[in-house]
């Protein structure tokens, strides 16, 4: 008889390559990703690349300071919050307050709230539904997809999260998150930057499956 467990590691991070497109809206655009050779093995005996990008480039984490004057910076989030089991909320395009309330009854102390929307769909949440989600203890939320607050100004979803002193992990690779099970763990690795509004991250999910006989 074969018993035990098997760990599956899934990389949820978007690649940072020549296909990377920074966030833009109207006349605004985040800094572009620029990678250039700084030193060469032929000239210096070692290779170094110069890297330039924004703090919210690619898969990244937002600190409250990203949307809130005087909000906490990235360094305020304890490393103990970077790793933990997640509570998955599958948000459909027509999700209601009653739907969210029902889903939250299944919360059992998981460390990270994981919001997932259908691929290429923006989900509208009522303000009351978002507030119910934010009333849960975790300080770190993960978002795969796009969510807005119904009948609200742009960025309201993010501003309310910031005002709740929560941190948001976003811009995950939806091709990898689409098949995630309801239970698993997230490993989030931001840069150790000080005094900034966020950081690019490497994000891994660990899924544990029991091996049958």
Q: What is the pLDDT of residue 6?
A: 82
Provide the residue-wise pLDDT of the chain in tens; the chain has 213 residues: 455 678 899 999 999 998 999 999 999 999 999 999 999 999 999 999 999 999 999 999 999 999 999 999 999 999 999 999 999 999 999 999 999 999 999 999 999 999 999 998 999 999 999 999 999 999 999 999 999 999 999 999 999 999 999 999 999 999 999 889 999 999 999 999 999 999 999 999 999 876 656
Is the residue at 202 inside a domain?
Answer: yes
Helix H, strand E, coil C: the string for 126-182 is CHHHHHHHHCCCCCEEEEECEEEECCCCCCHHHHHHHHCCCEEEECCCHHHHCCCCC
Q: What is the pLDDT of residue 1?
A: 46
Q: What is the pLDDT of residue 166?
A: 98
User: Which pTM was predicted?
Assistant: 0.93
Is the residue at 161 inside a domain?
Answer: yes
Q: Based on the structure, what is the number of domains in the chain?
A: 1
Is the residue at 162 inside a domain?
Answer: yes
Is the residue at 99 inside a domain?
Answer: yes
Is the residue at 64 inside a domain?
Answer: yes
Among the listed residues 87, 106, 99, the one whose alpha carbon sits nearest the alpha carbon of residue 128 = 99
CATH number of the domain where residue 192 is located = 3.50.30.50
Among the listed residues 190, 181, 177, 186, the one whose alpha carbon sits nearest the alpha carbon of residue 206 = 186
Residue 65, domain extent:
5-20+55-210
Q: What is the pLDDT of residue 179?
A: 84
Is the residue at 102 inside a domain?
Answer: yes
Is the residue at 31 inside a domain?
Answer: no
Q: What is the pLDDT of residue 5?
A: 73
Whole-angstrom Cα distance, residue 75 to residue 189? 13
Among the listed residues 144, 98, 97, the one whose alpha carbon sits nearest the alpha carbon of residue 118 = 144
Q: What is the pLDDT of residue 208?
A: 84
Is the residue at 43 inside a domain?
Answer: no
The count of C-alpha atoms lying within 13 angstroms of the C-alpha of 36, restricted to the half-sphere facing its C-beta, is 5
């Amino acid at each position: 008889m074969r018993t035990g467990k098997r760990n599956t590691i899934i990389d949820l991070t978007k690649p940072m390559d020549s296909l990377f497109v920074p966030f833009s809206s109207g006349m605004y655009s985040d800094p572009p990703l620029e990678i250039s050779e700084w030193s060469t093995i032929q000239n210096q005996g070692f290779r170094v690349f110069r890297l330039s990008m924004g703090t919210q480039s690619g898969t990244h984490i937002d600190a409250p300071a990203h949307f809130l004057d005087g909000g906490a910076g990235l360094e305020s989030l304890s490393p103990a919050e970077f790793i933990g089991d997640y509570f998955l909320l599958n948000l459909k395009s027509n999700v209601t307050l009653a739907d969210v309330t029902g889903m939250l009854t299944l919360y059992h102390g998981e460390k990270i709230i994981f919001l997932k929307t259908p691929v290429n769909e923006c989900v509208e949440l009522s303000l009351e539904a978002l507030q119910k989600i934010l009333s849960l203890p975790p300080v770190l939320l993960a978002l795969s997809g796009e969510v807005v607050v119904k009948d609200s100004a742009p960025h309201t979803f993010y501003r309310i999260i910031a005002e709740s002193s929560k941190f948001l992990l976003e811009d995950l690779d939806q091709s990898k998150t689409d098949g995630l099970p309801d239970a698993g763990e997230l490993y989030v690795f931001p840069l150790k930057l000080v005094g900034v509004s966020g950081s690019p991250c490497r994000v891994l999910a660990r899924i544990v499956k029991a091996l049958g006989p």
